[in-house]
Amino acid sequence: MAQRHEPVNRRQGSTAAWVAAAGIAALAAVPVIALAASAGGDGGLTLGAPYIARVLRFTVLQATLSALIATALAIPLAHALAKRQRFPGRALLLKLFAVPLGLPQLVAVLGIIAVYGRQGILNDILAPVGTAEMPSVFGLQGILLAHVFFNLPLAVRFILTRLEAIPPENWRLAASLGFRSREVFRHLKWPHMRMTLPGVFALIFMLCITSFTVVLTLGGGPHATTLEVAIYQALRFDLDPALAARLAALQIALCAGLLLILQRFSMMVAMAPALRARAPRPDSGDRKGRLGDGLLILSGALFVALPIAGVVIDGLKADFLRLLGEPLLWRAAGFSLVIAVSAAGLATLAAAALASGIARSRGLKAQSLRITGNLVLLVPPLILAAGWFLILHRHLDPIALSPYAVVVINALMALPFALAVIEPSFRISFQMHDRLAASLGLEGLARFRLVEWPALRSSLALAALVAVLASLGEFGVIAFFGSQDLVTLPLLLYQRIGSYRFNDAAGIALLLLGLCLVLSWAIERRSPASLRTS
């Protein structure tokens, strides 16, 4: 085999990638080791094995039900949306469905309470009718409601994308072979929908297994607690590191098992590239079922829009003049911004280093770099927070170092998103330009300035925005490290709920909602067409 010339740049890119990977691995491994070390340690278990079993059971139960309900509701909704390609507001509806994912969980929870709570909008409407009160929004049903709110739109978008990717030739064949709507569903649509379901279910299950904020606020009590909330309580209130360590080990094992399952489903049948042709959709002109589809789409839209509207309505009642006069609010906003921007910068840098390494290598090397970037899927941010919390409080200066811990963990949390945005463009740019640049002798900074930067800066900016959005609304990590001296907007919001100052909470929620919508809008505008919602 001929000796392959390896451009200098290839090695440089790889070095940065491996340094970043080593750093990430260390930042994730150290807290896990710290937790492991306290597993058998002193303190002992204040609550025994039955408690752990109950928490584990509830964690799996709520995630299973959430994923089942969200997926089951998404099937008819996505089907109706695929069938009705043209109705006023369709594009807007798809944009609306992108909102819950970018929404801070605390804000969404407030919105859900505003709509479905005892004093909620729905009870106000139903009370004069004289019906019984709505069931409580707290406990399992509230957790499920919030999880479906977050994940139903996600599931709909996955299934809808798949339905819209059916090759036009298949639609034409269906027309040519005289399929009636029953056969179109049986031979064409259902098989494509069915293919997405295991992956969609597993993804939602995974998201709900690591759900912290929703369970902390709407659940609570020994009967509605998940592993992550139990870890938080064990460390912050019961001071029982041994219990936290055992719960964390369970959580990591659960995530590892799930990741293995998810991996299998991501290898779905790749379809051949289809003709770019307008295909007749025998089902779209179907007047039959128009009313049903319309009602379905309307209920889906209301389900997603109402809690957001609830945040706005309640927020507008807040006393903004007083709220904005509070120095604490400005301090919290300042901290939020500094933390989000630093975490985003760190995440983007790390993602860029990893992506350049992935673009330059293949096989096992590329795969291990990619896995490192997605390490928080295995060790969730809350476990990282728990581990670092232990280390800081036992061996280091918690007051001085907490802000850095928050930034680092937020960066790790945002890293998978940033990497997903950056990696494809790095790979394409490398494939397109590497040989040409090498043949022209472009190297080092000159090459970066002339070749990489112009091609990649828009995806870097997009990744940074996504990371800012992710850490701006983050609550679990700051719940660990927050103190009087370290308050972010979500933490301030939580504290105001805790002290029954709901007006203030609603005002802060509205501010956060506004910030996140502006960010989401900027992200949407910058996204390449392939990543856009519509």
Partner 1 sequence: MRAPVLEVKGVGFRYEDMAMEFDLAVSAGEFLALMGPSGSGKSTLLSLIAGFETPERGEILWEGRDITLLKPAERPLSIMFQDNNLFAHLDVRTNVALGIEPSARLGPKDEKRVAAALERVGLENLARRLPGELSGGERQRVALARMLVRRKPLLLLDEPFAALGPGLKKEMIALLKEIRRENGFTILLVTHDPNDARATAEQTAFMHDGRILAKRPTQEMFATTDIPELSDYLG
Interacting residue ranges for partner 1, rule: CB under 8 A: 167, 169-170, 172-173, 175-180, 183, 187-188, 191, 195, 269, 271-275, 277, 279-280
Alpha helices in 177-240 (DSSP H): 181-183, 190-209, 213-218, 227-236
Minimum CB–partner distance for residue 177 and partner 1 (Å): 5
CB of 187 to partner 1, least distance (A): 6
| Ramachandran region, residue 222 (left: φ > 0; alpha: ψ -120 to 50; beta: rest) | alpha
> Residue 398: CB partners within 8 Å, gap ≥ 6?
389, 392, 481
Q: Could you give the CA distance from residue 31 to residue 515 in angstroms, rounded to a whole number?
A: 32
Nearest to partner 1 of 1, 177 (CB atom)? 177
Shortest approach of partner 1 to residue 272 CB, angstroms? 5
Q: How far is the CB of 529 from partner 1 (least distance, A)?
A: 19
| Buried b or exposed e, range 418-450, using 16+ CB within 10 angstroms | bbbbbbebbbebbeebbeebbeeebeeeebeee
Q: Which is nearer to partner 1, 45 or 175 (CB)?
A: 175
Q: How far is the CB of 140 from partner 1 (least distance, A)?
A: 37
User: What is the closest distance, in whole angstroms, from the C-beta atom of residue 248 to partner 1 in the complex?
Assistant: 41
How large is the greatest C-alpha to C-alpha distance in the chain, in angstroms? 84
Neighbours of 504 (CB within 10 A): 21
Cβ nearer to partner 1, comparing 191 with 292: 191
Q: Which is nearer to partner 1, 48 or 280 (CB)?
A: 280
3-state helix, strand and coil shares in percent for the chain, rounded to the nearest 5: 80, 0, 20
Within 10 angstroms of residue 386's Cβ, the number of other Cβ atoms is: 30
Cβ closest to partner 1, residue 253 vs residue 275: 275
CA distances to 2, 60, 91, 279, 469 from 513, rounded to whole Å, are 59, 30, 21, 40, 11
Residue 104, SS3? coil
| Nearest to partner 1 of 175, 420 (CB atom) | 175
Extract the tokens encoding 64: 């299973």
Give the 3-state secondary structure of 226-244: CHHHHHHHHHHCCCCHHHH
Give me 432's structure tokens: 């397109």
CB of 170 to partner 1, least distance (A): 6
| Comparison of 129 and 272: residue with beta carbon closer to partner 1 | 272
Q: Which two tokens stand for residue 6?
A: 């390896």
Q: Which is nearer to partner 1, 15 or 176 (CB)?
A: 176
Please name which of 285, 67, 64, 69 lies closest in space to residue 171, comparing C-alpha atoms.
285
Minimal distance, residue 432 CB to partner 1, in Å:
24
The distance of closest approach from Cβ of residue 266 to partner 1 in the complex, given in angstroms and rounded to an integer, is: 17
Judged by beta carbon, residue 82 or residue 510, the one nearer partner 1 is 82
Least separation in angstroms between CB 211 and partner 1: 34
Q: Which letter does DSSP use for residue 438 in this model?
A: H
Residue 233 CA: distances (Å) to CA of 142, 236, 319, 390, 493: 20, 5, 33, 13, 19
Based on CB atoms, which residue is closest to partner 1, 86 or 362? Answer: 86
Structure tokens at 69: 């309900």
Rounded CA separation 183/177 (Å): 10
Q: Do 387 and 228 meet the contact criterion of CB atoms below 8 Å apart?
A: no
Least CB distance from residue 311 to partner 1, whole Å? 43
Short-list 470, 514, 515, 508, CA closest to 492? 508
Residue 281 Cβ, how far from partner 1 at the closest point, in Å?
11
**Residue 525 bridge partners (DSSP):** none
Question: Which of residues 78 and 188 has its CB atom nearest to partner 1 in the complex?
Answer: 188
We find the least distance from the C-beta atom of residue 91 to partner 1, in angstroms, to be 22
Q: With contact defined as beta carbons under 8 Å apart, do 433 and 504 qualify?
A: no
How many angstroms separate the CA atoms of 36 and 92, rounded?
48
Q: Looking at beta carbons only, is 10 or 172 nearer to partner 1? A: 172
Q: Which is nearer to partner 1, 200 or 323 (CB)?
A: 200
